[in-house]
Amino acid sequence: MAAAWPWLLLWLGAAVLRARPAPPRIRLPLRGGSGLPPAARARRAPEEAERGGGSFVEMIDNLRGKSGQGYYVEMTVGSPPQKLNILVDTGSSNFAVGAAPHPFLRRYYQRQLSSTYRDLRKGVYVPYTQGKWEGELGTDLLCGAGFSPNETEALAAVGGSMIIGGIDRSLYVGDIWYTPIRKEWYYEVIIVKLEVNGQDLSMDCKEYNYDKSIVDSGTTNLRLPKKVFEAAVKSIKTASSTEKFPDGFWLGEQLVCWQVGTTPWHIFPVLSLYLMGEATNQSFRITILPQQYLRPVEDVATSQDDCYKFAISQSSTGTVMGAVIMEGFYVVFDRARKRIGFAVSACHVHDEFRTAAVEGPYLHSNMEDCGYNIPQTDESTLMTIAYVMAAICALFMLPLCLMVFQWRCSRCLRHGHDDFADDISLLK
């Protein structure tokens, strides 16, 4: 996102938030294809929330998107309401909307048309690991909305549901396994192991979390630290060695294509991420299929091929479990209990041999040690360093001071001798 893009950051007032009280929980079941399968649609009856009853029918199918371009929900902003597509990004803490014409925006927020907009007269600049934006801070009314089945956006290649306030049990199968949120600045978690086709990469678990591991719907790929990325790609190459792929494919720079319907999914391995569980010394495993980490690419030169991009990439800022990971699962962002849950989505991708899975428990000891901690220097250490630096400076300054003192003394003595010589000359 370029810095020149016109954005407006809206600060939502407390009065707006109190209008729709709900526990701070968000569910993001993402999927490929448009709309739920018939069996899932038949279960669209009102569900009881895990905490407090409620119907989530209006929230089902409220996400749209395209592979690699993120997921968005339609919301209304201002008075009278203006409909906008809002990108759902769990890796960002800001609510920002486009507020000026741009070629990439079909619709944008026009603050001059809203009677409830208030300008706070503050500029905003937000950089990301990839991209940045800047704009102005203001307040206005915000309301959730949804997509009508008759709208053209309903034909988007990818869809899903964002449920706020509870759990809709029609959207997942099996159990939900939870991992603690390590730090609340991001949705940060701890990965304890990574396997390729059941083979452990056998790395120090700190490497997986260097310098953090987050769940981020605003990132497309599974991003891994350099050492982990290189080891994972080497293992995937070995497992899929029956076909040769260009080096650019593994770097995300080139596509691979097959005739429609002939993609050899079976030659690619499954990936397994083990996450720290809530119980002591227990973890659980999420199994990721190649249908997730090989991202379909649309709008290529020929429509007679299925083309894909390798959706695992190298990161300099830690592990990021992006949208390609989340697409096979029902993901629960439970801020109230400081945890993130994973279950298999009711519309997950699969083939005749393998299926996405969330399984456990598995025994792992000392999982807290897998988290990366940025070295912290306490106050006493800083004071010690300051005293040492002061002593070193004093040692360097002492000879200089002695030289200056000696120079001043010699000048004084020479000046006194010259005065005495002048007096003698006068007497003569």
Residues annotated as catalytic (active site), given as ranges: 89, 216
Alpha-carbon distances, residue 170 vs 48, 323, 341 (angstroms): 11, 21, 16
3-state SS class at 17: helix
Selection from 298, 354, 294 nearest residue 327 by Cα: 294
Alpha-carbon distances, residue 192 vs 201, 220, 363 (angstroms): 11, 22, 11
As given in the structure block, the two tokens for residue 295 are 């991202």
Q: Which residues contact 316 (CB under 8 A, 6 or more apart)?
A: 129, 225, 226
Q: How far apart are CA 24 and CA 181, in angstroms?
A: 14
Q: Which H or E run contains 380?
A: helix 379-427
3-state SS class at 56: coil
CB atoms within 10 A of CB 305: 16
In degrees, rounded to 5, the angle at the alpha carbon of residue 349 between the alpha carbons of residues 233 and 255 is: 45
Q: How far apart are CA 323 and CA 288, in angstroms?
A: 12
Tokens 């203001």 -> residue: 138
Q: How far apart are CA 372 and CA 209, in angstroms?
A: 6
**Are 362 and 280 spatial neighbours (Cβ–Cβ below 8 Å)?**
no
Q: Which H or E run contains 228?
A: helix 226-239
Selection from 231, 144, 162 nearest residue 196 by Cα: 231
State the DSSP code for 394: H
In degrees, rounded to 5, the angle at the alpha carbon of residue 215 between the alpha carbons of residues 213 and 217 is: 140
3-state SS class at 205: helix
